[in-house]
Structure 1
Amino acid sequence: MTERFCVKPTCRNYADFTLSYDYDSRVMVIGPLSPELAAGGYDLCEVHASRMKAPSEWTLIRNPGSA
């Protein structure tokens, strides 16, 4: 697997987690880094994954092993 970087602008950290969205259910999910780049997935480092907050009326789910 190739090392991937956090998608946040100017962040040079390696990605540890993948953030995905379910727009219909208004749910955000942060889980372990997906093995491959996923369509609609956003790779985040530990720092940015731990700072992620859901917008109003959305739910953020952090799977075990996520920040």
Structure 2
Amino acid sequence: MRPSYGGQASVRRRGIPIHLVGGISVEAMRERLCSKVGCAREAVSTLTYDYGDQMAAVGPLGAGGDPHAHDLCAIHTERLSVPKGWVVVRHETLRV
């Protein structure tokens, strides 16, 4: 079962539910690497910029496919710096 882009669904593979968001599986999202040059670590967050509002937003790993979003590993997420006067908004997920 593959949903149309923008939809959400859940399918089973070997009895384990694999959630789909926008047609991309969680499994495929885990295979993405940090977009920093020379870094081969697994991506854990997505960074986007709003140049008009001088703001950078860092949140959970996005669904992908957005050419204006940048995937970052844990180290580069923590070390993120922005130009003076900019605001960084960090969206955290709940950890259980």
Superposition TM-score, scaled by structure 1 size: 0.88
Q: Deviating runs (4+, > 4 A) in structure 1?
A: none
Residues paired across the two proteins, number: 65
Q: Is the counterpart of residue 31 in structure 1 residue 43 in structure 2? A: no
Give 1 or 2 for the bigger CA radius of gyration.
Answer: 2
Structure 2: distance between partners of 1:53 and 1:36: 22
Structure 2 SS opposite 1:35? coil
Unmatched 5+ stretches in structure 1: none
Amino acid of the structure 1 residue aligned with 2:38 = T
Superposition TM-score, scaled by structure 2 size: 0.63
Point out the structure with the larger strand share: 2
The structure showing larger relative contact order (alpha-carbon pairs under 8 Å, at least 6 residues apart) is: 1
**Which residue, 35, 39, 44 being the options, matches 1:16?**
44
Equivalent residue for 2:85?
A: 57
RMSD: 1.0
Unmatched 5+ stretches in structure 2: 1-24
